[in-house]
Amino acid sequence: MIWWLYNLVFPVAYALLLPHFFLRMWRRGGYRRDFCQRFARYRREAAALLDAPGRPVWIQAVSVGELAVAFSLMDELRRIDPAVRFVLTCNTSTGHALALQRLAPPDATLYFPMDVPGVMRRALDRIRPSAIVLVENEIWPNWIRCAGKRGIPAIMVNGRISTHSHKGYRKLRCFTRDLLPRIRWFCMQTDGDRDRLLDLGAPADRMEITGSAKYDISPTPPEARDRARAVLDRAGVGRGRRILVGGSTWDGEEAALLDFYARNRAAHPDWFLVLVPRHAERRAAVLEAIAARKLTVLQRSQFPDGAPAPAEVPDVLLVDTTGELRGFYAAADVVFVGKSLTQTGGQNPIEPARDGRPVVVGPHMENFPGISDDFARAGAWVQVKDAQELGETLERLLSTPAECVRLGSAAAALVDARAGATRRMAERIHALRIR
């Protein structure tokens, strides 16, 4: 009865969301060409990769944040078994584009198929995985159920469930008590994540606390940092200027950073602002906010590598491209991590911390509860309550290089101390996958 209801409701909900998908195709691009992959229909190039010998590990990572975990996990699994290959799926066009940049044959990048029995059976027939890996809380019922019927183990890695999500899932415990025991193993981030999943029906004897794989990211590649620095150099932003980067910003956060910058730029002409919105298609709104404050701007999308220097040094650099955030984090003197001031959930603070950058976040880091506790205990970031406190904090840090060094060093030390979760997860997957 439970599965019948799910398989009745999900296709209806998916159909209702199709106009939203089509709108994103038009606004973002990148969806249209491979949209049929969502129905497990694959073009020649993808099909050829799926026909390669051996059974791949199928990893599902919803978007960019989870992809960082997936990439690290793939690297670690390949150290254990150099012959292993992967099928990496994601849900968003941004994530798909990033995965295409990162992966090369024999690995394949696909969109995650629609979670209905017929489509999932077709996808499993084509992919033939040796294991399916759920990054964080990617719980797709038919995927897990259909794989289980074929003896394919499902492993959750970097598992987490927020207090808010737990409250919602508790209303569906009649469903989760049937679904969660179908997962072979759970690698959880924190004791709290484990306890919340146990409450929903996960078996206690299949749980382990491995920590957060997000701590295992590699330092920003020197070429990415150098490329970002080269963009700043060509724009006329000298090496002596102090760079503030607003990363993965959402609506309202660019305005807060621009207001701070506009107030202080006359008194501090050595400061420079770089904005990297979470969604590049918001560029028009961000450009409007910049113009409203009578600031000049250089768009990265209109300033490709090798382009001549602009006639005048801009007030703001808008990085409205994909895949360059970490390079600009590494080139920054101070970093504000977005979706934390005017939105809820937060974005990953470990990326700039890994490079020893001082990190500032807003009050809303609900998607990173264990990590937030770690950063707070270690004094490895500054968390502000509102836009006013954000401005005061940024002014203090940009004016005090020694404090930036202290804060950045604490952040890097925390990341080093928490490393190792990915290796533990990779060893578990290697032990459980079908040979």
The residues carrying an active-site annotation are 66
Q: Tokens in use for 133?
A: 């890996």
Contact (Cβ atoms closer than 8 angstroms) between residue 140 and residue 168: no
Neighbouring CB atoms inside 10 A of 201's CB total: 16
Is residue 428 packed enough to be buried (19+ CB in 10 Å), middle (13-18) or exposed (0-12)? buried
d(CA 67, CA 363): 25
Rounded to the nearest 10 degrees, what angle do helices 93-102 and 64-80 cross at?
A: 30
Neighbouring CB atoms inside 10 A of 28's CB total: 17
d(CA 379, CA 407): 7
d(CA 37, CA 31): 10
Nearest Cα neighbor of 418 from 367, 368, 382, 384 is 368
Give 304-313's long-range contacts (Cβ < 8 A, gap of 24+).
305/227, 305/230, 305/231, 307/234, 309/234, 309/235, 309/236, 310/235, 310/236, 312/236, 313/235, 313/236, 313/237
d(CA 415, CA 399): 26
Q: In terms of DSSP bridges, do strands 382-383 and 359-361 run parallel, antiparallel, or are they unpaired?
A: parallel
d(CA 349, CA 361): 8
